[in-house]
Structure 1
Amino acid sequence: MIMSLKLLYTSIFLFIIVSAKAQLNLPVALYAQHNQSIFNLKERIYSKIYVRSPNGLHMQPLNIYVDWYTAEGTLLIHQIYLTKFGGAEASFEIPADYPFAFLRMRMYTLANLKLLPNFQFSDQIIFVNQKSNFSQKQMLDSVNSSSVKFQSDESIKVKKVFSSFSTKGRSEWLIENKGKDFMNLSLSISEEESFEPPFYNIIQHFKSSNLTSQPPKSDYYDAFVQVRGQLKLADLNSENANLVFSLFKRGQMPIIDQVPIASDGSFSIDRLIFTDSAQLSLQLDYKGKRNQKFELSYQQLGLFKTAPSYAFNFLDSFPVFYAGLKQASWTNYQKQDQNEVVVYTKSKSALELLEDKYATGLFEGGDAIDFNMMLPNVRSFPTLFHFLQGKVPGLQIFFQSATSTQAIDSAVTAGRKEEESGIFGTPKFSWRSNQDQIKFFLNQVPISVDGLLQLPMADIAYIKVFRPPFLGAGMGAPNGAIAVYTKLGDEADYVPKKSKLTRFMLQGYTNPFPYISPDYSSEKKRAVVDKRKTLLWVPTIHLNHDSPEQRIIYYNNDRSKKHRIIIEGVKQNGELIRKEWIAE
């Protein structure tokens, strides 16, 4: 009986694992809602991308690739986004000199590309207002019909708390999930006076993923930033070796962890999330040896660096937009400089350039002593605290022995052994008779002394030692602070040829522009000109049984008396949601 139960539980467990893997490999369809239908030059497009599989909303994280093309097929930018609960926020700023009446947004996954040439990309047309390029005619029925009939979805309830159509008036709405299913929504509110019906809506244009077009099997699932590599060591014993990786990005705490090494020297680093780029450092440690020198081959998985080859296979090659009867004379308010100012300045020193590049906010300037850590002699010091010894007037640094309570001065020379130098002891600090009250920062994020001890000297670019008091820290740092900055990847390479550290740059996700809604709650904030067409854009609204409501607050512009509100989204079971109405 016990054996039968064990077999039953094992079968259920294996079924769950197989089902989960099968969910990951299902084909997906993509669709995007935008904050408005027509955009001006230099205006930002805000988008919400939805991902749906045959089983419903694709809840697992997935890498989505977005390519923006001109009307003639020139690639403007290649973007990468990570979905969360079946959705991802995206954005793109139209260039000031863009000459065409529309641009193309192409969305796809890595699995989609493996189905080519049978796969049809998820493409959308974004119209650009070139002033003279639009005819003031009635919009085509095929385009206008999507918004002539207002749509009301019964799965969500929208309640007006209050609304004001006065200049910069405040409105408030409450969105409620009437069911128990999880739903992922996005919301746009526009002034009706300049509103043009969208070219796409989620009901008509969100295609169902095709089960017959099952993507070929892959040895990995394309989600997060992933790196695969292989160590090139003839006598590698993986049981006695540890591969330690460190991921450094400005303004974030470093990620330091170990990854297993297979018998053939291969390794995999996955589930990394960062935007723009980051530096990955690898260090191989053998038992009984330190900082073993090694060579490796590596590959960053996915399409983070380049877009696939362009093929002009759009279904609608040359779309034509016919503007409605409304005269949309207002454009989004943009600050314009009236006069050109020419400033002459002298060339800056190396330390001044480092200050401009790394220090921001309250860490800029101040009463501090700074150090260029990219000089060759810096690598001879085992830690940054050994480097700082004797270089800052008034600051004393010594090490507490790990085996003794007596503080010993670990004046380090390059030829002495680490065990004799006190490097494994605890750093102690004395500044104007105050001990151990100095605060530490890595890329302007608070960090412990132990965290800085693990930081390789080869990764440090710049150090600032602030004399007391330092006001840039939370609650202040009355006894001073030490700010350490790691390299961004574009610095000159000063690493000696015999360095035991291997490092390289990784490409990360595109950082979407956040939509900033004005707050006119105080009279002082209202003293601006507001010509916004989009009054509010909320790209992500998650509603479920436990959190069934979302409160929406926004402010009117200077002229609108009617507001067009559109809500789109997908339930977890795959059902599509669209609700559109006019508030007046």
Structure 2
Amino acid sequence: MRKACFLLLCCLLYLSIQASDSLYVQLNKQTFKKGDTLDFSCVIPDFEKVKLNAASLHVWIDHISTGTRWKFRYPFINGEAQAALVLAKTLPDGHFAVNFLVQKGYFRLSGQLKDKFEDENNINYLMVPKNKRTYSETITLNKDGFFRLKSTLFEDSAYFVFSPVKKNAKNNLNVSIETPLDSTFIPEMESRIWITVGNQKRPMNKKDSAAYAFNMISSSGTDLLPNVTVVGKYKKKVEQYDDYYSSGPFKRDEAMIFDGIEDATMAGSMSILRFLEGKVPGLIIEKDQESMVEMARWRGEPTEIYLDEFRVSPQDIWIVSPSDVAMVKVYRPPAMLSPLSGAAGAIAIYTKRGEFAGKNRFKHSFTVKGYTPAEAVWQ
């Protein structure tokens, strides 16, 4: 009797250990039609005990037939992550492996200032998340120029700009960055659930799952750039830039466009707003008497300012050097580029990127992916 009780106690202890080291995943269903919503919940039992107070969930969905992979990621809050994915009409039919992978830590950005001067101990940075307030800070460099920013939670993406503490006519910082969430990692925990999308002639079976081999590195089809269509009409570089990087309401034809790629006038200006002074009828550039920050006003009201289509405040754009700007688009009142738009127009500033960055060896601005919104589209 005592031996049986001892074995039962050992068995219960083993099960409790297994539970604390497992990732619990729940889906609303396993067979979906286009337009349905895939709801899931992931729980890390005893997340404090296993030292996963700060953790991120990667959801990698593989199409078994083609190997195409879709990637999403979410923060764990108190050991739990919940989200919903709406299935787009363009998704292929078939069987899918939904892989849930736990990575220790939240989003954190680290980097290095290359070619650091001996007395250069600090640099500024500006973080511009989509649809949220911007954040700026002065950070300390170690003797080799390395730095690390605070752990941050933000959805979609954010724009980061680094600049010298002392403002110069040109930003000559050369910065490299990396984020742990985008690096190769070994999952702390993982789980997999099979789902079916669309009308399949036969259900998922053991042979299908046995033929699937999960690979942390393998990814097919979703990280490729879209095909480039070549047209016969010649376009200036700023027009090509506008076609490629402008999106949504920013594509409106009535905007006044100023070229910073082939025209050197902008690069020689003291600031972007001073460059626009006198060039746009009705736009007034003046310094705020309290903050001494340059302000753009139209009809006496503050004009909206966007940096790479992220809304920013006037005091934030001083960190962007005019020589780093590829294009400026000015929209007359009422601009109505966002639900919060007023009637005082808007200025959209676009930085040099990709093939339009030229031969400048200095890199100090980056668009970085954050977490997937809690409600997103799988497409």
The bucket for the TM-score relative to the shorter chain is 0.5 to 0.7
Residues 28-75 of structure 1 show CA distances to partners (whole Å, capped at 9, x for unaligned) of: 532222122322367542222222236579883311122223446935
2:274 match: 386
Bigger radius of gyration among the two: 1
Supply the distance in 2 between the matched residues of 1:357 and 1:298 (Cα, whole angstroms).
22
Aligned letter for 1:266? Answer: F
Cα distance, 1:395 vs. partner?
A: 3.4
Supply the distance in 2 between the matched residues of 1:270 and 1:430 (Cα, whole angstroms).
35
CA distance 1:53–1:348, shift in 2 (3 Å): farther
1:319 match: 206
TM-score with structure 2 length normalisation? Answer: 0.64
Residues 329-351 of structure 1 show CA distances to partners (whole Å, capped at 9, x for unaligned) of: xxxxxxxxxxxxxxxx9979655
1:442 aligns with 2:306: yes
- Aligned pairs for 1:55-454 (under 5 A) are 60-71=53-64, 74=67, 76-90=69-83, 91=85, 93=87, 96-99=91-94, 102-110=95-103, 222-233=104-115, 235-237=117-119, 241-248=121-128, 251-285=131-165, 293-302=172-181, 304=182, 318-319=205-206, 351=239, 354=242, 357-358=245-246, 360-361=248-249, 365=252, 368-375=255-262, 377=264, 378-397=266-285, 426-427=293-294, 434=299, 436-442=300-306, 447-454=312-319
Supply the distance in 2 between the matched residues of 1:275 and 1:244 (Cα, whole angstroms).
23
CA distance 1:232–1:54, shift in 2 (3 Å): closer
SS in 2 for 1:89: strand
Residues 117-170 of structure 1 show CA distances to partners (whole Å, capped at 9, x for unaligned) of: xxxxxxxxxxxxxxxxxxxxxxxxxxxxxxxxxxxxxxxxxxxxxxxxxxxxxx
1:506 aligns with 2:368: yes
Cα distance, 1:293 vs. partner?
A: 3.8
Aligned letter for 1:370? Answer: I
SS in 2 for 1:258: strand
Supply the distance in 2 between the matched residues of 1:367 and 1:428 (Cα, whole angstroms).
23
Cα distance, 1:267 vs. partner?
A: 0.9
Aligned letter for 1:494? Answer: A
SS in 1 for 2:275: helix
SS in 2 for 1:270: coil
Cα distance, 1:236 vs. partner?
A: 1.9
Supply the distance in 1 between the matched residues of 2:54 and 2:366 (Cα, whole angstroms).
25
Q: Is this contact kept in 2: 1:249–1:486, CA < 8 A?
A: no
**Quick one: percent identity of the two aligned structures?**
15
2:28 to 12, 15, 35: 35
SS in 2 for 1:506: strand
Supply the distance in 1 between the matched residues of 2:117 and 2:311 (Cα, whole angstroms).
41
Supply the distance in 2 between the matched residues of 1:451 and 1:375 (Cα, whole angstroms).
25
Residues 464-501 of structure 1 show CA distances to partners (whole Å, capped at 9, x for unaligned) of: 433345556778745x32332445x86433355375x5
Supply the distance in 1 between the matched residues of 2:354 and 2:171 (Cα, whole angstroms).
25
1:493 to 356, 363, 368: 356
- Structure 2: 5+ residue stretches without partners: 1-19, 195-203, 209-230
Supply the distance in 2 between the matched residues of 1:77 and 1:226 (Cα, whole angstroms).
22
Aligned letter for 1:510? Answer: T
TM-score with structure 1 length normalisation? Answer: 0.44
Supply the distance in 1 between the matched residues of 2:47 and 2:340 (Cα, whole angstroms).
52
CA distance 1:43–1:353, shift in 2 (3 Å): farther
Aligned letter for 2:346? Answer: I
Supply the distance in 2 between the matched residues of 1:71 and 1:247 (Cα, whole angstroms).
38
Supply the distance in 2 between the matched residues of 1:254 and 1:383 (Cα, whole angstroms).
20
Q: Is this contact kept in 1: 2:326–2:356, CA < 8 A?
A: no
Larger RCO: Structure 1 or Structure 2 (Cα < 8 Å, ≥ 6 residues apart)? 1
Residues 438-457 of structure 1 show CA distances to partners (whole Å, capped at 9, x for unaligned) of: 42232567654323333433
Cα distance, 1:249 vs. partner?
A: 5.1
Supply the distance in 2 between the matched residues of 1:475 and 1:42 (Cα, whole angstroms).
30
